[in-house]
Structure 1
């Protein structure tokens, strides 16, 4: 009932342990609100991911660095507090300079996040094919990660280093950048834009920290299975915008039916029922709590 029963510190510790000991990669679907985070937990996934692209889209904005650190922290915190799973959030460049990175890490800690990833893209970010993504030099990228590591108060807060140099520098450049980021203290490496499983294997061999894979639809690479990524040595998988795309696809089709038919009757079989929503929200626990309080008396007796 209400917020998660597990403290942020405990969630971080569990994520660390599972990342080190789990036999299969940890799966973190992207939640775009607290309700989808509760669904992710109920269906047995190991963690929750909050995508910067999903936050931007939910605010009606393209993923071009237009969201503020406060908006990201507030939305990610709303999601994190409603699930007992650890939540990892996309912090883009950390707002640019090392001091900004340090501050956003501490703000995310205070909002209950279990970790974030900081990337080596030029600030402000311009995400997506054809939007002019550019990466910073190695020194700037390393300074961002060092700032994030030094700023965290909880040593279990996960600092993930995301690198996008594959497009411009190839696999060798990715490996070189990944090693530098690990040297700066990154807990996990997130190589963006790898072409195939062989490239994931190469990065895994090159570093002594876990490697994260992003499985994003409509991108340049195949959507590999958990088993394939496990065999390549990947330890964590995020599915950034899958749920948002599913929800918006169904919403758009449904509105089309309503517009053309003048009724939503044909859509009802596809809808979540009120009973299912109540179960997901644990509505019965709220009713029981209210009844318990209503029967309480100052002398300690109950009606």
Structure 2
């Protein structure tokens, strides 16, 4: 836990933008690690989608989210940045949220200043809590962490509710409350994106969501603007849905998977991705016999 948070702190201090692809389960977490990324992000919208089959409208509980974040951290072995919605209540609830996420092995979480029930940051219908209430929750989050390297990210959804200037005012206030990283959600123009890192001293997070509200920028462009962390919340899930849909349609129309086998991950490659070589090594280390394995 401490090593993971400390590693994230070091990555945030290193040159360049830290890129964290978003995942919602252990399979995608292992792919991110295999492809050589240094950090990973647990998407709240993706977690609601994969765990419940529902949109991100505040239906997930804190313990469900912390459990999923811990599984992603464990499967990937990477410093994990996790969505923690609104912190799931007032300052005392936030304290417990931080403690649960930290115990799960998460390196960082972000909380937003929305009222409950919250909505995905790129959806309409959001409402906000007073800035002073959010500042109190940030102070509670910072006080609750056992590892001082655990990263507290403060998110404001004020652009769509109160306007861009008020969003910057909130970001400044959250920085003063102790937030390590600032996350101004859903900017809609290059002018807004340029202004965010200039308005505060703390590192800023860029959310490359798929809604189209925020301009689609390259990592180089994000770095040039002054952002330090870029998350891609549902990139992998959005990529998987068309692939899965196409496979099912072919099965339905052709009545067989034979014609698509060369396009699918091989059975052995799938189990290797899931860690089967490590399992075999452990079985040999502990001399687990074939007969014993068959009885499990």
Classify the TM-score, shorter chain.
Answer: over 0.9
Q: d(CA) in 2 for partners of 1:62 and 1:131?
A: 13
1:251 corresponds to: 244
Counterpart for residue 292 of structure 2: none
2:84 pairs with one of 87, 91, 100: 91
- CA distance, structure 2, for counterparts of residue 92 and residue 172 of structure 1: 23
Choose the corresponding residue for 2:153, options 155, 160, 163: 160
Is residue 211 from structure 1 mapped to residue 191 from structure 2 by the alignment? Answer: no
Deviation at 1:295, TM superposition (A): 8.1
List runs of 5+ in structure 1 lacking aligned partners: 1-7, 297-303
Inter-CA distance 290–204: structure 2 relative to 1 (3 Å threshold): same
Give the number of aligned pairs.
288
Runs of 4+ in 1 over 4 A off after TM superposition: 128-131
Query: What's the CA shift for 1:291?
Result: 2.2
In the alignment, is the contact (CA less than 8 A) between 1:197 and 1:229 conserved in 2?
no
Paired with 2:80 and 2:70, the residues of 1 have a C-alpha distance of 9
Q: 2:34 aligns with which of 33, 42, 51?
A: 42
Work out the CA distance in 2 between the residues paired with 1:128 and 1:20.
27
1:110 to 67, 82, 103: 103
Assess, with a 3 A threshold, how the Cα gap between structure 1 residues 222 and 295 changes in structure 2: closer, same or farther: closer
Matched residue SS, 1:116: strand
Instruction: Kindly provide the CA deviation profile for residues 241-297 of structure 1, in whole angstroms up to 9, marking residues without a partner as x.
Output: 11111112211221111112211223223211123223323422321321232289x
Q: 2:181 aligns with which of 168, 188, 203?
A: 188
Question: CA offset at residue 156 of structure 1?
Answer: 0.7
1:55 maps to 2:38: no
What's the CA shift for 1:200? Answer: 2.3
Question: Which is further off, 88-97 or 252-261?
Answer: 252-261
Asked whether the 8 Å contact 2:121–2:157 carries over to 1, the reply is no
The answer for the alignment partner of 1:229 in structure 2 is 222
Q: Given the superposition, is the C-alpha separation of residues 226 and 130 from structure 1 closer, same or farther in structure 2, using an over 3 Å criterion?
A: closer
Instruction: Indicate the residue corresponding to 1:25 in structure 2.
Output: 17
Q: Secondary structure at the match of 1:141?
A: helix
Q: Does 1:276 align with 2:269?
A: yes
Q: Is the 8 A contact 1:187 1:210 kept in 2?
A: yes
Instruction: Please give the TM-score of this superposition, normalised by the length of structure 2.
Output: 0.92
Give the direction of change, closer, same or farther, for the CA distance of 1:263–1:144 in structure 2 (3 Å limit). same
CA-based RMSD: 1.7
SS of the equivalent of 2:252 reads helix
TM-score, length-scaled by structure 1: 0.90
Looking at structure 1, the residues matched to 71 and 288 of structure 2 have their Cα atoms a distance apart, in angstroms, of 31
Work out the CA distance in 2 between the residues paired with 1:197 and 1:87.
28
For the residues of structure 1 that align with 2:288 and 2:123, how far apart are their CA atoms? 62
Question: CA, structure 1 residues 295+85, in 2 after alignment: closer, same or farther (shift >3 Å)?
Answer: closer
Distance 1:121 1:292, change over 3 A: same
- Relative to structure 1, the CA distance from residue 253 to residue 224 in structure 2 (aligned partners, 3 Å threshold; closer, same or farther) is same
Alignment gaps of 5+ in structure 2: 290-296
Shift of 1:205: 1.1
2:294 match: none
